[in-house]
Amino acid sequence: MADVNFSSPAPNPDSRGAEARAPAAREGDLRWDIIELLFFAYRDFVGDADHELEAFGFGRAHHRVMHFVHRYPGLKVADLLDVLRITKQSLGRVLKQLLDEGYIVQKTGSNDRRQRLLFATAKGEALVGKLAGLQTTRINRALADIAPEDAETVRRFLCAMIDRDDPDKVLETILKTGPATKKE
């Protein structure tokens, strides 16, 4: 097996588009500490739910769809596509499975019959609640030893990490409501 040097990765020819958008950082300026902490935190945060979802034959895409449909009842399919930033084809397979298995229902809009509005069923709400419970336990455990003002700093940091160029309706709602512990 060849030796691999992790400190100086070879340039990726497929990443040239990213280079045009942002100036290249010098090696000493890179935040490997935060990058890797975010990677591992995300891995473990979604891993709790991933393990539970496996029993249903679901994956992360199913989780994301169910999360937003549950949190924003009556969400239009078009808005869900925008929020998740996925294609119709990608959403179609996942949504069909969730509809067929009774986790989500789709209703026609009352003002515009072309609209497809999504709602979680009781079965879907129960699964989303279980997944959110697992993730809330992890979040609460991580926040347990820090001061409340430090928790707000974490929240501000995470908000600052989100691109503000593309105004998602759901994201705007989340940012306007402030810290939320329960569904209103």
- 53 and 63 in contact (C-beta within 8 Å)? yes
The pLDDT averaged over each successive group of 10 residues in the chain (184 residues) is 40 48 73 95 95 95 96 91 89 96 93 89 98 96 93 90 69 57 42
pLDDT at 175: 57
Q: If residue 27 lies in a helix (H) or strand (E), which one and from where to where?
A: none
Tokens of 102: 């009774």
Its pTM stands at 0.75
Please give the Cα distance from 71 to 120 (Å, whole number).
9
pLDDT at 46: 95
Tokens of 61: 């895409």
Angle (CA) 60-61-64 rounded to 5° is 85
pLDDT at 171: 63
pLDDT at 83: 86
**CA distances, 131 to each of 89, 128, 143, 172 (Å):** 25, 5, 18, 23
